[in-house]
């Protein structure tokens, strides 16, 4: 994975601190061309990986990228699935069974519901695999070397103790897409512990890591200790703590930590993209020797 | 370890279950649901024992406390049975379909001295809690007007056919969505005493209202408006906010952002004259396990602590949820007169 990954929250009005900013972003990125322009700005600063949700509009972005192989041949996309609001709204509207009927492709599920008891013996992992395929359709032909499970699903399964389903995701993504599985979570230490027990070694885990300790469940100290002592390919997200920390201090903190392979951030303006990227390169330089000595 | 059972593994139920499953002080001793498929998934992939019949679950799994996350129309009967068996209850909101049903539960929980809580999670958000502190401290001076609002994309087209679209099951924007804002208004200012006008309007739904607009009075000096619409797709998810006008300043607050304006330098520590902006990032207390917002974990943690006797059972009691039910009923009655 590259050191800097470009995120997509700003494109879809996901703002963790302000509804007003959300609306402004929603207006700014109304057209797909605005998204592509911002991606191109990020690429011009040397960022070559776009980590994005499987939002309907990403399908349009994928079409644009596919149509210009000369320009985007080495461009990487890290899909994050599912776009949870799609399913959450569907569950509200259709119930759990209705949602599965709507989204599991083909007539697989139709046959599942015939004959009442028959489905009880079915394997739910294979339903999940069909859902993964449905979400992956829009990325056909593009480079997707890492495929992520969104935090709301990872953490739901973690809380329910359904680690076998996380394992199933990990295995299927590798088998079918020749990709590595990544897990987004708000509970990194707990997830890592459970994945280790399940036999998944050195997993890719993307979690909130920031100076403010925001959304670092179990506490900042625990996260720092896990990074120092455990085997994990960590991606730091929400490094700016939702905008509550000064960018310079925020980036210095993350760069000073050991064992963080990549930093994920999103921004709407050329100035903010350039500034954050510059801070990461500056502090990486400052802490490089320290990490080498420690490593 | 507190033994907890859950009834109703739908959207809220599964979310509660994951939080309880990760809670170090909780043992989930049973899950009951009417869907065989949901139970089958639990059987295959989790360690939670599943039951189709909740009464059988109560009898065999012997929980200390029960989380009830079924459609509202079932609350009265189920919660009564659970309280009768001497078990503590966390119920989803709103409390009941009618004021009479709610009264029975409030009295029974009191009489049995059992912990009782309802899932109005906004009170566990750092931003709204800070507003409550500012108001209780009198920093806004005399209050004269509030606006409680909530918007979101629940029903954005016709032809929905689940319990949320059925008024007999507790569906509709008033009970499902506006209840959160009404509860927040009651919490901030004391219960609403009069509803001076209200409109329940539908855009898409055939049997229930999609929006609620009302004029509410807390006291002769303090009144405000309620504006709630669950058919607003310009919001990605439910967004609740409150605006308060006082003689010494103004507050605008939503889940993530608190903006306070003070007319003079006479303000609490950490604030100054003019505009002050604070974010949830600074106001939220960390949780041990996060799923979809700190408030969902905090409210269940508070419930478990209350069962363990570590905190008083004072936030989101049946009594306060019943106060909200009463305002819901006033709004409905008033709308019927207006129409």
pLDDT (tens digit per residue) in A253-273: 999 999 999 999 999 999 999
- Nearest CB among B19, B41, B280 relative to A159 is that of B19
- pLDDT by residue (tens digit) across A109-159? 544 444 443 344 457 888 888 889 989 999 999 999 999 999 999 999 999
For residues A233-250, average pLDDT: 89
Q: Is the pLDDT of residue A98 over 50?
A: yes
Query: Which candidate, B16, B99, B25, places its Cα nearest to that of B306?
Result: B25
- Would you give the distance in Å from CA A125 to the centre of its chain? 21
CA distance B140 to B119: 28
Tokens 């996060």 belong to which residue?
B290
The phi, psi pair for A132, rounded to 5°, reads -60, -45
Residues of B with CB below 8 A from A12's CB? 236
Contact B162, A95 (CB under 8 A): yes
User: Which residues 6+ apart lie within 8 Å of A125 measured at CB?
Assistant: A164, A165, A168, A172
Query: Taking CB atoms and an 8 Å limit, are B256 and A186 in contact across chains?
Result: no
Average pLDDT over residues A164-179: 96
Continuous segment of H or E residues that includes residue A43: helix A32-44
A187 interfacial to chain B (CB closer than 8 Å): yes
Tens-place pLDDT, residues B289-338: 999 999 999 999 999 999 999 999 999 999 999 999 999 999 999 998 86
Q: Is A164 on the interface with B (CB under 8 A)?
A: yes
A102 — pLDDT class (breaks 50, 70, 90): confident
Q: Do B38 and A96 touch (CB under 8 A)?
A: yes
Does B204 contact A at CB distance below 8 Å? no
- The dihedral built from the CA positions of residue B55, B57, B58 and B60, taken in this order, carries a sign that is positive
User: Higher model confidence: residue A173 or residue B160?
Assistant: A173
Given this model, what pLDDT does residue A107 score? Answer: 52
Q: Is B283 touching A (CB cutoff 8 A)?
A: no
- Residues 70 through 99 of chain A touching chain B, CB cutoff 8 Å: 85, 88-89, 91-98
Query: Whats the size of chain B, residue-wise?
Result: 339
Q: Residue with structure tokens 């929400």? A: A238
Q: Name chain B contacts of A218, Cβ cutoff 8 Å.
A: 288
Tell me the C-alpha distance between A251 and A253, whole Å. 5
Interface check A247 vs B, CB under 8 A: no
Give the SS3 label for residue A6: strand
Distance from the A290 Cα atom to the nearest Cα atom in chain B, whole angstroms = 30
Query: pLDDT digits over A207-222, tens only?
Result: 999 999 999 999 999 9
Q: Do B236 and A14 touch (CB under 8 A)?
A: yes
Q: Which pLDDT score, from 0 to 100, does residue A130 have?
A: 85
pLDDT at B166: 77
């Amino acid at each position: 994975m590259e050191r800097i990954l470009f995120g997509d929250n700003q494109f879809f009005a996901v703002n963790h601190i302000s509804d007003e900013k959300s609306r402004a972003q929603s207006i700014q990125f109304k057209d797909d061309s605005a998204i592509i322009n911002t991606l191109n700005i990020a690429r011009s600063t040397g960022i070559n990986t776009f980590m994005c949700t499987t939002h309907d509009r990403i399908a349009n972005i994928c079409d644009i990228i596919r149509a210009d192989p000369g320009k985007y041949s080495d461009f990487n996309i890290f899909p994050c699935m599912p776009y949870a609001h799609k399913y959450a709204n569907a569950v509200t509207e259709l119930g759990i069974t209705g949602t599965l009927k709507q989204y599991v492709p083909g007539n697989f599920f139709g046959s599942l519901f015939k004959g009442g008891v028959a489905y009880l013996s079915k394997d739910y992992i294979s339903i999940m695999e069909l859902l993964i395929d449905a979400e992956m359709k829009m990325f056909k032909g593009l480079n997707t070397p890492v495929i992520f499970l969104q935090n709301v699903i990872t953490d739901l399964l973690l809380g329910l103790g359904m680690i076998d389903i996380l394992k199933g995701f990990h295995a299927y993504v590798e088998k079918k897409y020749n990709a590595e599985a990544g897990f987004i979570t708000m509970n990194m230490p707990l997830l890592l512990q459970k994945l280790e027990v399940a036999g998944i070694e050195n997993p890719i885990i993307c979690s909130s890591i920031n100076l403010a300790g925001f959304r670092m469940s179990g506490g900042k100290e625990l996260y720092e200790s896990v990074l120092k002592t455990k085997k994990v390919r960590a991606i730091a997200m929400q490094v700016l703590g939702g905008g509550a920390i000064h960018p310079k201090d925020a980036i210095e903190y993350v760069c000073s930590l050991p064992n963080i392979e990549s930093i994920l951030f999103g921004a709407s303006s050329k100035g903010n993209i350039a500034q954050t990227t510059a801070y990461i390169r500056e502090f990486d330089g400052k802490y490089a020797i320290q990490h080498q000595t420690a490593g | 370890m507190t033994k907890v059972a859950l009834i109703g593994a739908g959207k809220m139920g599964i979310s509660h279950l994951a939080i309880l499953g990760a809670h170090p002080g909780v043992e989930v001793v049973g899950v009951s649901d009417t869907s065989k498929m949901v139970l089958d998934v639990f059987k295959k992939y989790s360690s939670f024992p599943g039951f189709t019949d909740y009464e059988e679950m109560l009898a065999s799994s012997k929980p200390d406390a029960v989380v009830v996350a079924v459609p509202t129309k079932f609350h009265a009967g189920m919660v009564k049975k659970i309280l009768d068996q001497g078990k503590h209850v966390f119920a989803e909101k709103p409390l009941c379909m009618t004021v009479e049903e709610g009264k029975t539960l409030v009295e029974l929980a009191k009489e049995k001295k059992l912990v009782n809580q309802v899932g109005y999670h906004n009170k566990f958000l750092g931003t709204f809690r800070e507003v409550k502190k500012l108001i209780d401290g009198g920093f806004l001076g005399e209050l004269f007007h509030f606006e409680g609002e909530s918007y979101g994309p629940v029903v954005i087209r016709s032809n929905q056919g689940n319990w949320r679209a059925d008024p007999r099951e507790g569906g509709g924007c008033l009970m499902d969505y506006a209840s959160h804002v009404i509860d927040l208004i009651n919490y901030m200012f004391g219960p609403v005493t009069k509803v001076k006008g209200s409109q329940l309007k539908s855009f898409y739904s055939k049997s229930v209202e999609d929006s609620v607009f009302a004029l509410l009075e807390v006291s002769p000096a303090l009144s405000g408006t309620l504006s709630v619409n669950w058919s607003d797709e310009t919001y990605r998810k439910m967004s609740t906010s409150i605006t308060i006008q006082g003689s010494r300043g103004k507050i605008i607050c939503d889940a993530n952002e608190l903006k306070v304006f003070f007319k003079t330098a006479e303000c609490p520590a950490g604030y100054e004259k003019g505009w002050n902006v604070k974010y949830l990032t600074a106001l939220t207390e960390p949780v041990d396990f996060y799923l979809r917002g700190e408030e969902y974990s905090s409210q269940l943690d508070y419930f478990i602590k209350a069962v363990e006797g570590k905190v008083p059972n004072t936030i989101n009691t049946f009594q306060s949820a019943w106060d909200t039910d009463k305002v819901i009923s006033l709004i409905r009655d008033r709308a019927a007169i207006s129409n």
